[in-house]
Chains A and B, each alone.
Chain A
């Protein structure tokens, strides 16, 4: 079983695109963490000021992304937005794992009636198209950063439950688990010390790569008016709030959207390369084709 890090290394050596992806993701995470310290106009980023003379300035050296209807620096707000997107991404995926892992683990390891019932419930959640359940929940809970994270993670965990379930059912029949059982280890001990660690990798890798989709969907919720609170510099909301003046000041909506696009692209490029590398058929085929020319 290849470890996640060695897989990633293999990938990067193989494909330039995945390297680009890696750079983007790293840049995003660093920006998200450092945003409050590196933004050129911290007050603008936090929305604590406005400036009449500077309204609707097109991009310039001073304001690379222009200024918005309050005369705030869009670049600062987009940088700050990385922080919110990072919080949302980590929050959604983390919470989803927190629900999905126990469900998948118990369903897969205990199996039987309990297992199939848990998976039935999981499948019910999967019957909703992506984002739809989150929309219903967000409409019920109301706006806000925390509610957005909850709404998204509730519609998200079933994927991880299912993924882990599949993994666990195959791992639990592997020889080393049998030998642990023969050694007289308890069920719980086997579950947590042997089965879980050996099943977790694909789920966590998948989860990390899903952060891009989490950012995308949170932006969608903001656009539909059920996302984060107004005037939070979340990217989706920045695009939405710029909509009103898009015909005269396109930059207010353009740049935050571009930020979403680039970030999600980063995650997806990594995911794509990973998927390809994990698909043994394509790897074999790639070899064949190189021989055939």
Chain B
């Protein structure tokens, strides 16, 4: 038993271990790369299942015959700033809004700028009994991508699934008591209390109609079976819209292909369709404005969701590009921790509100591309009033602070949190910090991931002392109503987004009453919303900072850009109304 033998056996051992490791790595590598052959081939699936790694598999050209199809296909690439979230039309409540309105249709669309409803799957609708009964008449030539017709039964089933799952934006259907199918193309909703159901049916989330065959495709037992959600999130869809989802790679790109059988292409004069709509619409995730700008300049993308705002005027002057500027119903607010001294004192909060340089913030953070907020309801939306702007007045702010018992400023440093990576929030935070220092309030600015930020803020309900002091955050409505803003951010029962921890029974009562009038007495609702906002203006649980204005820049070959943007469906570009040359 010499050294040689020991050495040899050790060699063998080591070699074996190394080999095993290499094999593990190789195996893991192979196992995690789906090969093109084993794509899940659901037999009657309406759309080709999207794959993660083989883009060409489902691309239009690959399906076509070997003869080049180049000239026939128009491709438009739209750069999205954020990654996609989920693909389940019932529960999705986030970034996927960028493509869902192209693949799915609601009963009704809403144009908030003209305050006008546009027919979707429903051609007409009416309400009776003070807005507690709503009847929708469906168009008879609409089909889902799998060929089944869009019927009243499908509408009932879609909305019932959304309600049953109770996630995401399901709350919009809270007023609904039951849904009744009158005939194949007529559906009636009975409500528990009056509500503007046509507007609700035009919501940007939770209002999509999909094929009843999904249970079968997913091999599930019923509609709420998690298998259905899994089936959606594998990149499948069951919509009736002008585009089909052909590739679902949520962190990189989503490819949509024109669906020739959509009823809208053949409907003469339908305002949400264009004869020159692109054949392929790609949503490409490009996570910062600088890169989007560059890709736009080099022609790698056709439409940018954001370019650095400082450069917008350069694009406006350039004939190679078109710029669309539209109001958006997204606003930025700073929520104040109303439960943590000294911010529990309304005088201190008011002093803060008066020490914020609103005009400068819009100039610095948004290069002027936004409007100073007036109340929590953004410009251009119904329920917005012009007289809730705070004046920037350091003198007055100092006076209020002294009145509150802090003549020399506050003796502790306030913590302001914002979402890391958002340059507009960052610049806003920086200016607030600089400005509050002038009245003796020191602020520490901390960027956090949205998850971190939110979980810190949620903990404030139990322990307001340990939570942040100031919280910068965006809000945008699920469907266009002042109630969406006022309830979510300020109603005492909403512990998810009322992160000012504001509790005021008088305010709660006003908005609860107002929402009931929305459906049939807009005037009454408005005056109640005005009262409610006046309370907020005096109490200052939050400082509304600015209402954004959306700027989209596109290559000049993209026509109808302006028309393809609708603030009720933020980030969406309605590709079906684009008119593309070449």
Contact = CB atoms under 8 A, between A and B. Distances in A.
A251 interface: no
Interface stretch (A44-52, A117-125, A190-198, A277-285): A44-52
A69 B445 CA distance: 17
Contacts of A244: 288-290, 308, 423
B360 interface: yes
Nearest to B363: A52
A65 B121 CA distance: 59
B431 interface: yes
Given A243-B290, A244-B290, A249-B310, A48 B437 contact: yes
A146 interface: no
A50 B364 contact: yes
Interface residues of A, number: 19
B539 interface: no
A25 to B, nearest CB: 33
Contacts of A50: 360, 364, 430-431, 434
21 contacts: A47-B434, A50-B360, A52-B360, A52-B363, A55-B364, A69-B310, A70-B364, A70-B430, A225-B421, A230-B426, A230-B447, A243-B290, A244-B288, A244-B423, A245-B308, A245-B310, A247-B294, A247-B308, A247-B311, A248-B310, A249-B310
Given A52-B360, A56-B310, A225 B434 contact: no
Interface residues of B, number: 23
A69 B364 contact: yes
A98 interface: no
B290 A247 contact: yes
A253 to B, nearest CB: 10
A111 B567 CA distance: 73
A6 interface: no
Given A225-B421, A247-B308, A248-B314, 9 more contacts: A55-B363, A70-B427, A230-B445, A244-B289, A244-B423, A245-B308, A247-B294, A248-B310, A248-B311
A5 interface: no
Interface in B256-304: 288-290, 293-294
Contact of B308 (A48, A231, A248): A248
Contacts of B288: 244
B419 to A, nearest CB: 12
Given A48-B434, A52-B363, A52-B364, A246 B310 contact: no
B420 interface: yes
User: 4 closest A-B pairs (Cβ-Cβ)?
Assistant: A248-B310, A244-B423, A248-B311, A52-B360
A191 B300 CA distance: 65
A279 B294 CA distance: 48
B415 to A, nearest CB: 13
B452 to A, nearest CB: 10
A290 B314 CA distance: 60
A225 B420 contact: yes
Nearest to B423: A244
Interface string B412-423: 000000001101
A246 B290 contact: yes
Nearest to B435: A50
A231 B290 contact: no
Interface in A218-254: 225, 230-231, 243-249
Contact of A231 (B310, B363, B430): B430
Contacts of B426: 230
A143 to B, nearest CB: 8
Nearest to A49: B434
A248 B431 CA distance: 21
A47 B430 CA distance: 9
A48 B445 CA distance: 13
Contacts of A246: 290
A69 B311 CA distance: 13
A245 B310 CA distance: 8
A245 B293 CA distance: 11
